[in-house]
Amino acid sequence: MNLPTASRLQFTPDLNICRILNGMWQVSGAHGQINPQTAIETMFKYVDAGFTTWDLADHYGPAEDFIGEFRCQLIDTRGKDALSQVQAFTKWVPRPGKMTKKLVEENIDISLRRMNVQSLDLMQFHWWEYQDKNYLDALKYMAELQTEGKIKHLGLTNFDTENLKIITEAGIKIVSNQVQFSLVDRRPEVNMVEFCQQHDIKLFTYGTLCGGLLSENYLGKPEPREFDLSTASLKKYKNMIDAWGGWRLFQELLAILKEIANKHSVSISNVAVRYILDQPTVGGVIVGARLGVSEHIEDNAKVFSFSLDEDDRDRINAVSRQSRDLYQLIGDCGDEYRR
């Protein structure tokens, strides 16, 4: 299976990525047991199908180690040149507090070692406390490590527009921000998208499938209770749906998505991803990969087989207009983590 050219994005001069990123939060332990050997074997399947870009973090269980082992096996079986086909974006999520060059470098070195790389493709930085401005020091030290070659590019995770602006004005070059963005959570459209367009910052979006709730599996189904929701993602995004407008409105959305999906011979999930991929400044959508547990390689590929027309978008937007304003309820992107 070969993905079309439209599946790729020249993200930076040196990084050509797949616009559907394989999300590795799913190996952190909150989504069921993962067998490491099977996980690595499955990673080969993803890359061979054209899904070459991985999203991970220092705290996603063994995610960085999986990348390191996968790279070793790739070299052993296909030679060093094969490494250029794979991109791995990690995150550093420190506890707030005083930041020193030594502390930052030690943590970056851990990721380099675990992932078996000389330089991190993209380091996506998260910070819990905006009141603690030490995050600017952390980013300045990371920018120094970038100059020294340990990091290729700097990105952010769950920063709001106001603090993204502070960082940009401090002269730190940010290439991406990872935020929640879906047909249920459209908060990035309020401020984030416009700011990122002005500063050539890409958005990588997660929660775009609401942990799997935006799929045929939940169409026409009674509202699940908490013990019906088997993964951390399902629990998290069911709460988001409750805040957005509740199960009845969500069923309306699923029904419209199903009609649009049938029209294009694709799935509800494909339509949900395609809509967000088409938004300005969105570089890619992160779709969780439960390695060796469940795969959606063939279904994900269909995202690149069709386009939404104006009528499709109008019908989706008509449902969205009936929902509550999550920006008013929660705040800007990432504010749900800083309460």
3-state secondary structure the chain: CCCCHHHEEEEECCEEEECEEEECHHHCCECECCCHHHHHHHHHHHHHCCCCEEECCCCCCCHHHHHHHHHHHHHHHHCHHHHHHCEEEEEECCCCCCCCHHHHHHHHHHHHHHHCCCCECEEEECCCCCCCCHHHHHHHHHHHHHHCCCECCEEEECCCHHHHHHHHHCCCCCCEEEEECCCCCCHHHCCHHHHHHHCCCEEEEECCCHHHCCCHHHCCCCCCCHHHCCCHHHHHHHHHHHHHCHHHHHHHHHHHHHHHHHHHCCCHHHHHHHHHHCCCCEEEEEEECECCCECCHHHHHHHHHCCCCHHHHHHHHHHHCCCCCHHHHHCCCCHHHCC
Taking only the tens place, the pLDDT of each residue in 213-270 is 999 999 999 999 988 898 888 999 999 999 999 999 999 999 999 999 999 999 999 9
pLDDT in tens, the chain (339 residues): 689 999 999 999 999 999 999 998 777 655 456 778 888 898 999 999 999 999 999 998 889 999 999 999 999 999 999 999 999 999 999 999 999 999 999 999 999 999 999 999 999 999 999 999 999 999 999 999 999 999 999 999 999 999 999 999 999 999 999 999 999 999 999 999 999 999 999 999 999 999 999 999 999 999 999 888 988 889 999 999 999 999 999 999 999 999 999 999 999 999 999 999 999 999 999 998 867 555 689 899 999 999 999 999 999 999 999 999 999 999 999 999 986
For the whole model, what pTM was predicted? 0.95
10: tokens are 């020249």
